[in-house]
Amino acid sequence: MFASVERFEIIPDITRIIEPNSSELSTNKREGSLSMKEEAERIGMPEHWRPPKIEGEWGNKSFISVEQLTANDFAEIVNMATRIRDTRMSKEQRALFELKSWLFPLSMQTAFYEPSTRTRTSFEAAAQILGLDVVSNPDMIRMSSFSKGETVADNAIVMGEISPVIVQRHPEVGAAAIAAFALQSMTRCDGTKPRVINAGDGIGEHPSQALLDITTIIWEKRLKNANDLHRLHIGMLGDLKHGRTVHSLTKSLNCMGGPAVFYFISPEQLSMPQPIIESLTRGGQSEVVVTGDLAEVLPSLDVLYVTRIQNERFKDLDECRRYENLYRITPEIMKEAKKDLTLIHPLPRRGEIDPRVDSDPRAAYFRQVGNGVDVRMALLCCMFDRPYPNFRNWYK
C-alpha cells in the first residue's frame, strides 16, 4: 500500500486560482452570455478568493485545484484507489455490492461545456459502480439553459439543488472557481452542501487527472512510498503552455516531494509557464531542465508524459500546424529510451505517438485510462465522506 507521508507540504506559492479581476481571467464569451470575469463580478467573488484546503476533510468541499491538497491527501487517494483496484480484480465483489446501499439514492451530475470521452465516462462509470444515480449532461453548450443565457454560477446552483456532487468541465479558466464560490453558501434539504469537482477549466487545471497520473506512475513503477518518487527522472513533452494536465501534474509531483529531475521538453513558444518553473526552483526539491531536444534527454528518463498540441486553444491555426509534427514518438525513438521507461499520455492523441508504439510494454497510456475508474471511485468516496462517515472504512 502507498504509505502516508508527513513531511511533504504544498509550497504556498506553487499554484493560484485565477483571480476574478486578473487580466488572465477570460473575457471571452458567447453571444448573450457573460465572460468569466463578468460572472465573477456579478456574484461578488472576492479578488483573492481561494477554495478551502482539504487537509483530510473532503466532505462538503469543492475540489477544483491541486493547490487544495497536502501530500497526505494525495496518499489517501492513492491508497484507496489501490484497494479498490485490488478488490475489483479479485473475486471479493461483496464489498462493492454492499457499498451500493450506502449511496442510494444519492446522485452525481456531469456538466460538460466542452467535449470529453475519458474524464466524463470514467466519472460516470465510477459513480455507477458505487451505486450513485448519474445525471449526464455531455453537451451543456447546446443542451442546457446555457444556450438561453444562463450563467455558470446559476447553473451550478440549480444542479446543486438536484445532486450533491457536480463534475464540471468548461473551456474557460476560472469557471470551476466560480461554480465553487456560488455553491459554498448553499445547504441542501438533507443538510449537506453541494460541491463541484473541476474536470478541466481551459488551460487552468485538471486536478482529478493529476490524481490519475500520479497513481499510474506509482503503479507502473511499483513504488512503495512517496520518497521513491524523488529518485525518478520525469519528462513532459509537447504543448506545456496550454496543457492543463501537465500544469496540475507538475504541481502535484512537487507537493509530494518532486522527482529528482523535471525535464520540460517543448518549443520555446509552448514552454511550461514561468510561474510554475519559478515555484519549482524556489522550492529546490527537484532539478529543472528546460529543453527543446527530446533526443538529448530521452535516455535519462524514467517516465515520459506526452501531451498533444492543444489546437482548440490556438487562435491562429497556421501557428498550431507548425507545431503538430514537431515531436513524434516512434518505435525507432523508443529504442533510445530506457528498457523500463513508462510512457503515458492523457489522450486523445493526434500524431505525437505512432500507433506502432501501442504494443510496446512500456506504453502505459491505455492502462492509464482504465486506472481512471479506480481513482475517480476513490475521489467520489472522499467527496461523500462527511455525510457518510463510515463510508471509506470499507476500503481500510
Three-state DSSP class for 53? coil
* Environment class of 89 (CB within 10 Å of its CB; exposed 0-12, middle 13-18, buried 19+): exposed
Q: Which residues contact 381 (CB under 8 A, 6 or more apart)?
A: 80, 130, 391, 392, 395
Q: Which residues contact 185 (CB under 8 A, 6 or more apart)?
A: none
Nine-digit cell string for 386: 462527511
Q: Which residues contact 391 (CB under 8 A, 6 or more apart)?
A: 99, 102, 103, 381, 384, 385
Catalytic residue chosen out of the listed positions 15, 82, 87, 119: 119
Catalytic residue chosen out of the listed positions 42, 118, 349, 392: 118
DSSP state letter for 185: T
**Distance between CA atoms of residues 207 and 78, nearest Å:** 14
What residues pair up with 342 in beta bridges, in sequence order? 303
Whose cell is 517516465? That residue is 303
Q: Give the length of the chain.
A: 396
**Distance between CA atoms of residues 91 and 48, nearest Å:** 49
> Active site includes 169?
yes
Nine-digit cell string for 250: 507538475
Q: Which residues contact 11 (CB under 8 A, 6 or more apart)?
A: 254, 255, 279, 282, 283
**Distance between CA atoms of residues 77 and 164, nearest Å:** 20
> Active site includes 148?
yes
> Active site includes 119?
yes
Catalytic residue chosen out of the listed positions 148, 222, 315, 339: 148
**Distance between CA atoms of residues 336 and 340, nearest Å:** 12
AA identity, residue 25:
L
Nine-digit cell string for 86: 485490488
7-24 as b/e, with b when 16 or more CB fall inside 10 Å? ebebbeebbebbbbeeee
Contact between 320 and 350 (Cβ < 8 Å) = no
**Distance between CA atoms of residues 33 and 216, nearest Å:** 39
What residues pair up with 290 in beta bridges, in sequence order? 264
Catalytic residue chosen out of the listed positions 37, 83, 120, 169: 169
Residues annotated as part of the active site: 118-119, 148, 169, 206
